[in-house]
Amino acid sequence: MSAQDEHYIRAVTELGDTARVVVTQDIYSRTGLKLVASGVAITSDLYQRLVQHLLLQPLDMSLSMENAVDAEMLWRDTQDLIQKNSRVAKMVAVLDKGYSLRKLLAAIQLPGPLTFKLTVAREKFPEIYQHSLVILVISVYVARCEGMRLEEEEYLAVAALFHDIGLLHIDPALLDPAHRMSNEERRHLYAHPLSAYLLLREFPALPRAIADAVLEHHERMDGRGYPRGLPGDKISRYGQILAIAETSAKPFAPGASAGRWRELEVMLKLNFKQYGNGLLGYLSTLWDDDGETVVTTDSDEIMAKVKKLAELFQEFERHAETARGNELYDFAQARLANLMRELLDAGLDPHDPDGLMQCLGSDPECADEYAPLLKEAIWQFKAIVLDVSRHWPEAVRPKDGDYVWLETIESLLSAT
């Protein structure tokens, strides 16, 4: 039994302790051993029996439960989002001027096993489920702005609901923001679009475009995404929409802080080449200052970020003579050169920390302006270093390479 199935089986059997989960057809192992008979109620008592065997077919194919997610439940949960975030409310209001979101949700027909998996997400992984609803609203809103057909809006709605469903099969500890992932753990995380894609491909009645969009939701137009690193002309428009929705989701989540939208604006401006042509404008129209509280910037924190960003670039460049020609270093250097150009275009020079700190110290408004930019710059630097590890795991790195620079940079980033 793979570790990934182990975590999902635990979630399903624990769900059976609080809700009635019933076996609808006998569950067999791949060796032909009957593990659980039809009609039996699943509980955590069956966890060990199920986890010790490779199952003949996915567990969802053999289970059903009372009060499973349906269109009305999706709509009620979306209404809850509307109450908690004014920008979600704005998007739904735009949709309701035409074919309403409620009608769209009612039109979606899902196979029973997918309904079951969505219910597991709602009951055992509420943050993933709620995030998927946010992605659904954003994706359908962008599709409506694009002038897509209602059928295409439905495709995107289904893709949004299941885009992160692969996360149900990894160790929940990896999803804890406080957890520092190893490279091996990160590879499990990077695999979640493929896991969701393979799940959806189990159902031939679903249009292939839905699974493709799910597989592409972490791809980027400049080829810097995953899992396949596709160039922009190979990413479907559905995948592009799902990607911008995924990237933009945080300010639309319940309880999002006042600074989230500002951070999103900065991030999108800095990385606009990564996203589909014309898509960003649809979201920018949702912004206004009504009801926003002023975001105050901690001066010590922002000064620390200035120093950290300068230190990262300086440390990387310090190894240029000894590491140049190293495949990993050259890859990172090309990416960091692009980041440097983008930062300079935005008015931030990592090579002049003293000048920037003088400006920030004398002008509070300047500090508020640069705080999200510095945060995003350090995040982008970290993403580039993680990309190196993703492309070249330790096991496949050239044996004669000089990786002192990478170890030093990773150490600096671990302290951020």
Domain annotation covers residue 292: no
Q: How confident is the model at residue 400 (pLDDT cuts 50, 70, 90)?
A: low
Q: Is the pLDDT of residue 293 over 50?
A: no
pLDDT of amino acid 89: 94
pLDDT, one tens digit per residue, over 331-359 is: 999 999 989 988 888 888 999 988 888 87
What's the confidence (pLDDT) of residue 258? Answer: 67
The first and second tokens of residue 52, run together, are: 């010790």
User: With the CA atoms of 247, 249, 251 and 256 taken in that order, what torsion angle do they form, in degrees rounded to the nearest 10?
Assistant: -130
Residue 281 has pLDDT above 60, yes or no: yes
Instruction: Note the pLDDT of residue 1.
Output: 41
362 in the same domain as 255: no
Q: What is the pLDDT of residue 148?
A: 97
Q: Would you say 246 and 239 are in contact if contact means Cβ atoms under 8 Å apart? A: no
Quick one: 243 and 331 in the same domain?
no
Residues 324, 223 share a domain: no
Predicted pLDDT at 52: 94
Which has the higher per-residue pLDDT, 155 or 366?
Answer: 155
- In sequence order, what DSSP letters do the residues of 112-157 get, joined into one string? HHHHHHHHHHHHH-HHHHHHHHHHHHHHHHHHHHHT--HHHHHHHH
| Domain enclosing residue 367, as ranges | 299-414
Answer whether residue 268 is part of any domain: yes
Residue 294 lies inside a defined structural domain of this protein: no
104 falls within a domain: yes
| Co-location of 39 and 79 in the same domain | no
Nearest by Cα to 388 from 312, 318, 330, 316: 330
> What confidence tier does 391 reach under pLDDT thresholds 50, 70, 90?
confident
Range in 157-166, 209-218, 351-360 with the lowest mean pLDDT: 351-360
Residue 294 has pLDDT above 60, yes or no: no
Examine the pLDDT at 377 and tell me if it is beyond 60.
Answer: yes
Share of the chain above pLDDT 70, in %: 94
Whether residue 255 sits in one domain with residue 112:
yes
Domain assignment of residue 333, yes or no:
yes
Please give the distance of CA 257 from its chain centroid, rounded to a whole number: 19
Least confident of 75-79, 121-125, 276-280, 294-298: 294-298
Of 250, 284, 318, the position where a domain reaches its end is 284
Q: What is the chain's Cα-based Rg?
A: 23
- The confidence band for 44, taking pLDDT boundaries of 50, 70 and 90, is very high
What is this structure's pTM?
Answer: 0.83
Inter-residue contact 186 to 134 (CB < 8 Å): no
Residue 103: the pLDDT is 97
Model confidence at 285: pLDDT above 90 = no
Tell me if 266 is assigned to some domain. Answer: yes
| Residues whose CB falls within 8 Å of the CB of residue 107, separated by 6 or more in sequence, listed in order | 150, 154
> What is the chain's length?
416
Residues 263 and 319 in one domain: no
Q: Are residues 278 and 330 in the same domain?
A: no
Q: Is residue 400 part of a domain?
A: yes
Q: What is the mean pLDDT of the chain?
A: 89
Q: What is the mean pLDDT of residues 131-149?
A: 97
Domain boundary among 284, 310, 326: 284
**88 and 213 fall within a common domain:** yes
146 and 255 together in one domain:
yes
Per-residue pLDDT, averaged over 56-70, amounts to 95
SS3 of residue 310 by DSSP: helix
Q: Please report the pLDDT score of residue 14 as a whole number.
A: 98
Query: 230 lies in a domain?
Result: yes
99 and 221 fall within a common domain: yes
Q: Give start and end residues of each alpha helix (H) in 271-416.
A: 279-284, 299-318, 320-323, 327-345, 353-362, 364-391, 404-414
What pLDDT, on a 0 to 100 scale, did the predictor assign at position 392?
Answer: 81
Listed range (76-80, 104-108, 142-146, 317-321) with the worst mean pLDDT = 317-321
* 103/110 Cα distance (integer angstroms): 15
My answer on whether 102 and 220 are in the same domain is: yes
Give yes or no for residue 314 having a pLDDT over 50.
yes
CATH number at residue 269: 1.10.3210.10
pLDDT band at 144 (very low <50, low <70, confident <90, very high): very high
Under 8 Å between Cβ of 25 and 62: yes
For the cut 60, the answer to whether the pLDDT of residue 290 exceeds it is no
Residues 171 and 273 placed together within one structural domain of the fold: yes
Q: What are 65's strand-pairing partners?
A: 21
Single residue among 44, 65, 86 that ends a domain in this structure = 65
The total domain count for the chain is 3
Provide CB contacts within 8 A for 323, sequence distance 6+: 329, 402, 404, 405
